[in-house]
């Protein structure tokens, strides 16, 4: 068997594994009431122009009640398993890889803290696996625990979105010259424009280790993103822009997700990343990677963890 046939075989095996894992996972931590409320909202606004405001009619007390009724444990960010290749250089077994992310959260309190906030413990792990290289080593894994305050934003009986303040640590668990880590505060928010369109923003700042003291040159201090859902909730498109130290130079991530069946929470997932700082170990190296696989998401935009 030649190299390209073997490469294709391994790639397809990874995608099949993604599909198998995804089909047996459907826990997102959301109550039936929240899911039903979201369904009613999307059904009533699916024919509305994407450029028209159409926010959920609900008072703050009801929002807090729904949030408190949700399971304390659930999905935080997207959970995915994807494999792919570079699109800016010749493809070989050393630059093709598997990338996967596991992300969960545990709500520690209900909405009883000052300003109707609640406290969450979050954990995200992102790994890069050189599965096609000899011995299939893990190139880097980034461990990202955090403690977060969250608050729903309700004005004039309209749910506008969510706001968050977090303290996080991120490191790759390595030592010597391969060690990378930082501790930082994050202020972020999501604005719910309508049932199909939401806008995200995030800024961060903190303390860098000596091993990656120039991380901000490559990762910058914030990002903005936009998320689109089709009227039938099957297709989701997302784009994120992360300006680096020189604001006209950006890291970009674009994603397309297609729901496998109308009622499932598993998506065929395509992700393109171009820029720096995709992982901590190689934060100062440029990458342009196109990957495909499976993704598991929170089922609505209400719990914008």
Domain boundaries, the chain: 3-296
Confidence label for 247 from pLDDT (cuts 50, 70 and 90):
confident
CATH T-level topology, domain 3-296: Outer membrane phospholipase (ompla); Chain C (2.40.230)
Indicate whether this model's pTM tops 0.75.
Answer: yes
Whether 8 shows a pLDDT value over 50: the answer reads: no
Placement of tokens 């979050």 in the chain: 122
Q: Which pLDDT does position 240 carry in this prediction?
A: 97
Average pLDDT, the chain: 86
Concatenated DSSP letters of 233-273: S-EEEEEEEEE-SSTTSEEEEEEEEEESSTT-SEEEEEEEE
> Picking from 35-39, 180-184, 217-221, which range would have the lowest pLDDT averaged per residue?
35-39
Q: Which pLDDT does position 43 carry in this prediction?
A: 66
Q: What is the mean pLDDT of residues 248-271?
A: 95
Long-range contacts of 252-257 (CB under 8 A, 24+ apart): 257/295, 257/297
Look at residues 126, 141, 127, 129 and name the one whose alpha carbon lies nearest to residue 96. 129
Q: Which pLDDT does position 298 carry in this prediction?
A: 74
Q: What is the mean pLDDT of residues 93-117?
A: 96
The tokens describing 145, both together, are 């625990």
Confidence label for 292 from pLDDT (cuts 50, 70 and 90):
very high
- Quick check: helix, strand or coil at residue 54? coil
Yes or no: say if 7 and 14 are a contact pair by the CB < 8 Å rule.
no
If one compares 232 and 2, the residue with the highest pLDDT of the two is: 232
């Amino acid at each position: 068997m030649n190299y390209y046939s073997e490469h294709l075989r391994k790639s397809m095996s990874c995608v099949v594994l993604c599909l198998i894992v995804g089909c047996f996972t459907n826990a997102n931590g959301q109550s039936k009431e929240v899911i039903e409320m979201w369904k009613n909202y999307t059904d009533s606004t699916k024919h509305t122009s994407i450029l028209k405001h159409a926010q959920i009619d609900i008072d703050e007390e009801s929002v807090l009640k729904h949030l408190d009724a949700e399971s304390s444990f659930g999905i935080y960010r997207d959970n995915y398993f994807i494999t792919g290749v570079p699109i800016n250089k010749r493809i070989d077994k050393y630059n093709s890889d598997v990338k996967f992310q596991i992300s969960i959260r545990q709500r520690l309190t209900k909405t009883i803290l000052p300003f109707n906030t609640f406290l969450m413990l979050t954990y995200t792990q992102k790994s890069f696996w050189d599965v096609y290289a000899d011995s299939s080593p893990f190139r880097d894994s980034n461990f990202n625990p955090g403690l977060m305050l969250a608050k729903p934003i309700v004005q004039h009986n309209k749910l506008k979105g969510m706001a968050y303040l977090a303290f996080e640590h991120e490191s790759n668990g390595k030592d010597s010259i391969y060690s990378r880590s930082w501790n930082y505060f994050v202020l972020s928010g999501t604005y719910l424009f309508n049932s199909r369109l939401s806008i995200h923003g995030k800024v961060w700042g903190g303390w860098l280790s000596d091993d990656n003291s120039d991380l901000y040159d490559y990762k910058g201090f914030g990002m903005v993103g936009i998320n689109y859902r089709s009227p039938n909730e099957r297709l989701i498109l997302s784009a994120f822009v992360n300006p680096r130290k020189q604001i006209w130079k950006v890291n970009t991530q674009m994603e397309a997700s297609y729901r496998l069946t109308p009622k499932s929470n598993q998506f065929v997932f395509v992700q393109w990343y171009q820029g720096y700082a995709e992982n901590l170990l190689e934060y100062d190296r440029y990458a342009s990677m196109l990957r495909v696989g499976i993704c598991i998401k929170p089922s609505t935009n209400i719990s914008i963890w």
